[in-house]
Every structure is written in structure tokens, then in C-alpha cells.
Amino acid sequence: MKQIIKEQRSFFNTGATKSISYRIEKLNKLETILKQNQDNLNNAIFSDFSKSYFDSYTSEMALLFHDIKEAKRKLKKWSATKRVRTNLINFPAKSYIVPEPLGVAFVIGAWNYPIQLALAPAIAAIAAGNTVVLKPSELPINTSNVIAKMINENFNPNFFKVIEGGVKETTELLEQKFDKIFFTGSVPVGKIVYQAAAKNLTPVTLELGGKSPAFFTRNCNLKTSVKRMVWAKFLNAGQTCVAPDYVFVHKDIKDEFLNSLKQEIENAKLSIENHNYVQIINEKNMQRLVNLIDKKKVFFGGNYNIEQRYMEPTIVTNITFDDIVMQDEIFGPILPVIEYENIDEAIAEVKANPKPLSCYVFTKDKQIKNKILNEISFGGGGVNDALMHIANSKLPFGGVGDSGIGSYHGEYGFKTFSHFKSVLDKPTWIEPNLKYYPLSLKKLKIIKLIMGQ
Ligand code: NAD
């Protein structure tokens, strides 16, 4: 590991990655090998947790192809030196901002979207001119193997290298000095990564999780909202960082909402055989989810098969924040429904807990919409939809507070892996002597005048 990082740093220091054409050439190469390996990747992810070709394309590959295309198109603009105004006190001079790559970037991926969460940050790092060490999640092992083979056979390790492994390997890698660490995963491991980075003052982006609420107000468009909600919650069997974790529903529409939810889940015919549902990633997570189901509170579903790592979409009702299902991020196909009467009380409950990664509000009431958007701090979210904000690369994607530090997607990804160097560029044909000795009250007066004070 040490050797790889050393070689990457030497290569970075040659300045080769600073050329835009070099970056575009590497992005082209990545695009080509992704296309060539699409079937291998799809087969691997299917064998890991039964994720279908349809879902692999829409929630993994399509985003990567989009990111590469966008980066190639915008790279020149993003990386251009930007002139800014020079203030009077510095006159005459030019002021500009020069984006520059940080150096050797370390990307750590999570398992739930194992291709996209590993490669999207890598694409942003390459676009910004860094070299990359990538550690995909070890849980979907077949996917990790294919990613490693695909990258390591096609890129020079001094530019882009995949190192596979779990806690041991990640811990060892975190002992090395990087110029940027980009981590996607859980809050507890995020803290470990942050501590390791602090030893070297390495900047981090932490894409973490949390409990993301969805509000259904009295006058929402129930049919459309529930349809969108069911898709967002049960995509990837709820193993999505921005999935609605739980629902706050107004008491006047609770029964109608629950019936509509049940109907919509039945209509969706979610099953592995229908290729629109996946397995739980491993037995440990399966057991964790089973322990979250309070049988007395199951309104719908609740069946599972531990051996097959299958859990059906499950709705639990009459939930309060004291229930076990409300203690941590669920990250699975269990949807707790909490009734509310007073929106201020519901908002206060959310605010009493760590800041969520996402928040969704389904409503036609502008006042309530604005109240929720203004009063709750969250990473990103949506009004009358869930999850889809991540598909707009003009929106920065990231958490706040416990749900993360920093953001990426589109230009935000480029910025995440860049330093913005400030330059004040002065000519020598004139030298105002206001700041030089001897100092005087007259000079001070002129300085104050220039400063407008
Ligand atoms: P995780 O934190 O267990 O693992 C993430 C990565 O860290 C893996 O590559 C793993 O090998 C490594 N790792 C695990 N334990 C470690 C340790 N002790 N020391 C060093 N490295 C370690 O997370 P996960 O189970 O892969 O993913 C689920 C979590 O990730 C959820 O909380 C979810 O919300 C979050 N997530 C966030 C986003 C986002 O973009 N914000 C996306 C997907 C998942």
C-alpha cells in the first residue's frame, strides 16, 4: 500500500494529471471499460444480492455514464482560472482563483450501490486531476472483484488503483497519508475515518446516513404521493441512504394513507422473481432487521426468510420515538408510520434527533412546505417526491451534521476534489507607499477613505 501511494504521489508531482486532455483521455477510457464490463458488473451484482439488470442500469450505470459525460463536457469550464474583482486597497492588480487538484485521493465505498458509490467519487477525483486509490465495499464481494479487475487491468497503478478488502485493509490504508479521503458509509465508521484523517490533516468528505423523515400532510395528493413513496422506500429493499426512513402522517388521513400504502405495495408486486426487489445484503443485516420488527405493531407484511435473506415490505404502525425501530437508521424494507396532529410537535421531534440526510414533504399546503423546509436542517430532499433529487447533478449531494460533511455530484464533485488557489497578481510600474514606514495620521486617513470607513 505504501509503495502504491508513494508512486501515485510521485506521478502526481510530475504534473501529468493537470492537463485537461490527460483527464479526458482517462475518463474516456473509464467509459469504454464500463461499457465493455457492463454484463460482468450486472452479473456480479445480481449474484451478490439479486439486483436486477434494470435496477443496476438505472441506479448505478446510468449515473456513472452521466457523470463521465458531464465532466468531459464541462471540464474546461470548471478548471478554468476565474478572474474576480480586485478591491481598491490592492489597486492596481489582477485577482484570480486557480482550481488545482489535491493530489492522491482515497475513496472508500459502501455496499448498497456498490458500483456507483465506488466509481462516482472516483470520476469526480479524476476530473479534478487527482490520482485515485479506491477501496470498494467488501460485502458485495463479486462486484468488488469485478471493479478491481476492470480498473487494475486497464489503469496504471500510479494513477488509479483498486485495493480490495475489509476493515483490516481499510484501517491500514487509513494509516497512510492521503491528500483527500472520500468516505461513503455509516456514521460510526465515518467517525473512525475522520479521526484517522485528522492525524495527517487530510480533508474529508463524509457521505453518511441517518433517519430521514417523510411528512404526509392532511391535504397531500395521496395517490401520487404514496406511489412515489413506495418506490423510494422499497427500491433496493430499503437499503438506500436517502430512502425515507419513517413517515409522519396527519391523523385525519392516517387510515386512508395506510390503506393506500398497502394497496400500492400490492400493486407494485415487489419480489425477487419479478426483478424489482433485492435480497438483504448479508445475514448480519438480516438479523438486525428482524430484531426491529415488533410483531404486535405490524400493519402489513412482516414475513421474512433469514436463509434466503429475504424480507417483505413491512409497515409498522402506532410507532413512537421510543420504539426500537426508531433508534437507528433502518436501512431495510421496514416503514414505521407515526401519527401527528400538530406539525410543530412533529418538527420538534425531528429536530431533537441528529440532522437527517434527507427530508421529504408530501403536501399541497405551501405554508407547511415552507415551514418544514425552513425549520429542519437536512442534507437534501424533496417536495412531493423522494430520492429523485440525487438524480439532478446540479444539486449538491451530501449530508449535514451527523449525516455528513461536504458534498458531490456534477460540479460539486469537481470542487470536492479541488483546492481553489487565490492569487493576487500585481504589476510593478507603480508602488503606492501608504503601507510603508514612516507611518502617519495622514496615511491612516487616506487608508480609511479607501476602505470607506
Ligand atoms: P460501513 O460504514 O459499514 O462501511 C463503509 C466502508 O467502510 C466499507 O468499505 C467498509 O469496508 C469500511 N469499514 C467498515 N468498518 C470499518 C472500520 N471499522 N474501519 C475502517 N473501515 C471500515 O457502511 P455500509 O454498511 O457499507 O453502508 C451503509 C451505511 O452507509 C448506511 O448508514 C448508509 O446510510 C450509508 N450510506 C450513505 C450514503 C451517502 O451517500 N450519504 C450512500 C450509501 C450508504
Cβ burial 408-429 (10 Å sphere, 16+ → b, else e)? bbbbbbbbbbbbeeeeeeeeee
**CA-wise closest residue to 129 among 26, 232, 236:** 26
Q: Residues 273, 134: one domain? A: no
Q: How far is the CA of 405 from the centre of ligand 1 (A)?
A: 14
Predicted confidence (pLDDT) at residue 270 exceeds the cutoff of 90: yes
Q: How far is the CA of 398 from the centre of ligand 1 (A)?
A: 14
Q: Whose CA is nearest to atom 31 of ligand 1?
A: 186
Looking at residue 53, what is its pLDDT?
A: 95
**Could you tell me if residue 449 is inside a domain?**
no
* Confidence category of residue 394, pLDDT binned at 50, 70, 90: very high
Contact status, residue 118 vs residue 164, Cβ threshold 8 Å: no
Q: How far is the CA of 125 from the centre of ligand 1 (A)?
A: 19
pLDDT digit string (tens) for 7-45? 999 999 999 999 999 999 999 999 999 999 999 999 999
Report which secondary-structure segment, H or E, holds 337: strand 334-340
**Could you tell me if residue 164 is inside a domain?**
yes
What's the structural domain count of the chain?
2
- Look at residue 366 and give its three-state secondary structure: helix
Q: How much is the pTM?
A: 0.96
pLDDT digit string (tens) for 399-452? 999 999 999 999 999 999 999 999 999 999 998 889 999 999 999 999 999 888
Exposure of 276 by Cβ count < 10 A (0-12 exposed, 13-18 middle, 19+ buried)? middle
**Could you tell me if residue 370 is inside a domain?**
yes
Which of 111, 113, 134 maximizes ligand 1 atoms within 8 Å of its Cβ, making it the mutation to test the pocket?
Answer: 111
Residue type, 119: L
Q: Whose CA is nearest to atom 42 of ligand 1?
A: 241
Q: Whose CA is nearest to atom 15 of ligand 1?
A: 167
Predicted confidence (pLDDT) at residue 199 exceeds the cutoff of 90: yes
How many Å apart are CA 390 and CA 242, to the nearest integer? Answer: 9
Looking at residue 453, what is its pLDDT?
A: 86
Looking at residue 266, what is its pLDDT?
A: 97
Predicted confidence (pLDDT) at residue 381 exceeds the cutoff of 90: yes
**Could you tell me if residue 221 is inside a domain?**
yes
Looking at residue 432, what is its pLDDT?
A: 85
Q: Which three cell numbers stand for residue 110?
A: 459502501
Q: How far is the CA of 184 from the centre of ligand 1 (A)?
A: 6
**Could you tell me if residue 446 is inside a domain?**
no
Mean pLDDT of 363-383: 97
Q: How far is CA 135 from the centre of its chain?
A: 16
Ligand 1 atom nearest residue 109's Cα: 9
Looking at residue 80, what is its pLDDT?
A: 98
- Look at residue 160 and give its three-state secondary structure: strand
pLDDT digit string (tens) for 169-187? 999 999 999 999 999 999 9
- Look at residue 1 and give its three-state secondary structure: coil
Looking at residue 229, what is its pLDDT?
A: 97
How many Å apart are CA 159 and CA 141, to the nearest integer? Answer: 24
Scan for cell 442534507, then name that residue. 379
Contact status, residue 51 vs residue 89, Cβ threshold 8 Å: no
Q: How far is the CA of 357 from the centre of ligand 1 (A)?
A: 14
How many Å apart are CA 189 and CA 120, to the nearest integer? Answer: 20
- The domain that contains 259 carries what CATH number? 3.40.309.10
Which of 106, 170, 171, 390 maximizes ligand 1 atoms within 8 Å of its Cβ, making it the mutation to test the pocket?
Answer: 170
**Could you tell me if residue 335 is inside a domain?**
yes
Q: Residues 36, 73: one domain? A: yes
- Interhelix angle for 116-127 vs 20-36, to 10°? 160
Q: Residues 237, 97: one domain? A: no
Q: Residues 226, 326: one domain? A: yes
Q: Residues 127, 204: one domain? A: yes
Q: Residues 129, 168: one domain? A: yes
Q: How far is the CA of 217 from the centre of ligand 1 (A)?
A: 33
Ligand 1 atom nearest residue 403's Cα: 41
> What is the domain extent for residue 408?
2-208+403-420
How many Å apart are CA 249 and CA 256, to the nearest integer? Answer: 10
- The domain that contains 114 carries what CATH number? 3.40.605.10
Q: Residues 122, 91: one domain? A: yes
Mean pLDDT of 263-276: 94
The more confident residue out of 88 and 204 is 204
Predicted confidence (pLDDT) at residue 368 exceeds the cutoff of 90: yes
Looking at residue 209, what is its pLDDT?
A: 95
Ligand 1 atom nearest residue 190's Cα: 2
Contact status, residue 187 vs residue 324, Cβ threshold 8 Å: no
Q: Residues 407, 381: one domain? A: no
pLDDT digit string (tens) for 272-292? 999 899 999 999 999 999 999
3-state secondary structure 38-70: HHHHHHHHHHHHCCCHHHHHHHHHHHHHHHHHH
Q: Residues 361, 314: one domain? A: yes
Cβ < 6 A, ligand 1 pocket:
108-112, 117, 135, 137-138, 166-167, 170-171, 184-186, 189, 192, 207-209, 241, 329, 331, 357, 399, 404
Which of 116, 241, 378, 389 maximizes ligand 1 atoms within 8 Å of its Cβ, making it the mutation to test the pocket?
Answer: 241
Instruction: Supply φ then ψ for residue 132, to 5 degrees.
Output: -135, 130
Cβ burial 350-371 (10 Å sphere, 16+ → b, else e)? beeebbbbbbbbbbeeeebbeb
User: For residue 141, what is the DSSP state?
Assistant: H
Task: Look over the chain and give the mean of its residue pLDDT values, rounded to a whole number.
Answer: 97
Mean pLDDT of 105-114: 98
Q: Residues 269, 410: one domain? A: no
pLDDT digit string (tens) for 124-159? 999 999 999 999 999 999 999 999 999 999 999 999
**Could you tell me if residue 31 is inside a domain?**
yes
What are the catalytic residues? 207, 241
Mean pLDDT of 92-116: 98
Q: Residues 135, 51: one domain? A: yes
Looking at residue 389, what is its pLDDT?
A: 96
Q: Residues 105, 146: one domain? A: yes
Q: Whose CA is nearest to atom 37 of ligand 1?
A: 208
**Could you tell me if residue 433 is inside a domain?**
no
Preceding omega of 101 cis (within 30 degrees of 0)? no
